[in-house]
Amino acid sequence: MGIVKSKFNKLLSDASTRNRSLLCVGLDPDPAKLHNKDVLEFNKAIIDATSDLVCAYKPNLAFYEAMGIRGLQILKKTVDYIPKDIPVIGDAKRGDIGNTAAAYAKALFDFYKFDAVTLSPYLGYDSIEPFLAYNGKGVFVLCRTSNKSASDFQDLEDNYGMKFYQSVALRANDWNSSGNIGLVVGATYPEELKQIRKICPDMPILIPGIGAQGGDLELSVKYGVDKNSEKAIIVAARQVLYASTAPDYAEAARAAARELRDNINKFRKL
């Protein structure tokens, strides 16, 4: 049985179809690298330049929190500025239980108005449930992350030889009764991505790590898409945001995003 098309999944699918895109631009501004030191205006320029080329945007909260209160205000205004027909994934990687998890969900969904968020599953279902209660919102569970030391825990095996990341994928399938769960799987681990797509054939998979981290774009597309060559969300941040640090940064970002979008499409079976 296929996954229910939740409100988030439909928003994602519609944007992907409209823009012929599996590209998600990470809005992770580092003020030290920006030609335009006004971070909000920089974000707006990037959005204006790329909004017809992407299937989603993904602001990482850490970059805004590092700027203090001003940064959180910029984050809120950035989310508000993104066209409503493009999903926004809040990369928060939250992981807590009870009232704390409920408070995180309220902040991310009710205040910032993200369409989806990233979560750590380490504390189990208790840490995910408050987010699933928000009907129509998406939840991306960290499964096989792109960093080098991901294997410290994610490759640990249980008594039956199943690795931790595989257990996460199976549990996510069990939890996905409303069709609003996806997984985060790094492009730096294509064989694991291939395995996870087999375990979760219908889930959206958020795939970071193709740029500075060195992930293989072709394999990320080949192993990440579903049977319809959809539901892979390929994330690029630095290679788009900093395609130029000169006054033409927005034009350069558009060119980089278009090239990425088109390269991704070359590897899809459309």
Whether 3 shows a pLDDT value over 50: the answer reads: no
Query: What tokens were used for 219?
Result: 């394999």
Residue 228 belongs to a domain: yes
Asked if residue 184 is part of any domain, the answer here is: yes
- Note the pLDDT of residue 158: 82
pLDDT at 263 over 60: yes
Judge whether 74 lies within some domain. Answer: yes
Domain span holding position 107:
7-266
Mean pLDDT of the region 127-146: 94
| Assigned domain for 1 exists | no
Q: Of all residues in the chain, what percent carry a pLDDT higher than 90? A: 83
Average pLDDT over residues 40-62: 98
Task: Return the pLDDT at 146.
Answer: 86
Domain-located, residue 188: yes
Percent of the chain at pLDDT > 70 equals 97
Minimum mean pLDDT among 61-70, 76-85, 141-150: which range? Answer: 141-150
Q: Looking at the domain assignment, is residue 2 inside a domain?
A: no
- The end-to-end CA distance of the chain, in Å, is 23
Bigger pLDDT: 62 vs 270: 62
Considering its fold, how many domains does the chain have in total?
A: 1
- Cα–Cα distance, 185 to 126 (Å, whole number): 22
Instruction: Report the DSSP beta bridge partners of residue 265.
Output: none
Residue 246 CA to residue 14 CA, distance in Å, equals 34
pLDDT for the residue numbered 2: 44
Q: Residues 185-238: pLDDT tens digits?
A: 999 999 999 999 999 999 999 999 887 677 899 999 999 999 999 999 999 999
What pLDDT does residue 169 have?
96
- Confidence class for position 156, pLDDT limits 50, 70, 90: confident
Among the listed residues 93, 222, 231, 269, the single catalytic one is 93
Residue 4 has pLDDT above 60, yes or no: no
Closest CA to 24 of 61, 50, 63: 50
Residue 24 resides in a domain = yes
Long-range interactions of 260-265: CB distance < 8 A, separation 24+: 260/23, 260/217, 260/234, 260/236, 261/19, 261/20, 261/21, 261/22, 261/23, 261/53, 261/54, 263/217, 264/21, 264/22, 264/23, 264/217, 264/221, 264/234, 265/20, 265/21, 265/22
pLDDT band at 1 (very low <50, low <70, confident <90, very high): very low
What pLDDT score was predicted for residue 74? 98
Least confident of 10-24, 108-122, 127-141, 144-158: 144-158
CATH number at residue 70: 3.20.20.70
Average pLDDT, the chain: 93
> Is residue 218 in some structural domain?
yes
Bridge partners of 24, per DSSP, are 56, 235
- Which DSSP state fits 161? S
CA dist 168 and 163 (Å) reads 9
- Distance CA(172)–CA(120), nearest Å, equals 12
Tens digit of pLDDT for each residue in 25-43?
Answer: 999 999 999 987 899 999 9
Q: Is 93 tagged catalytic?
A: yes
Q: Residue 212: what pLDDT? A: 67
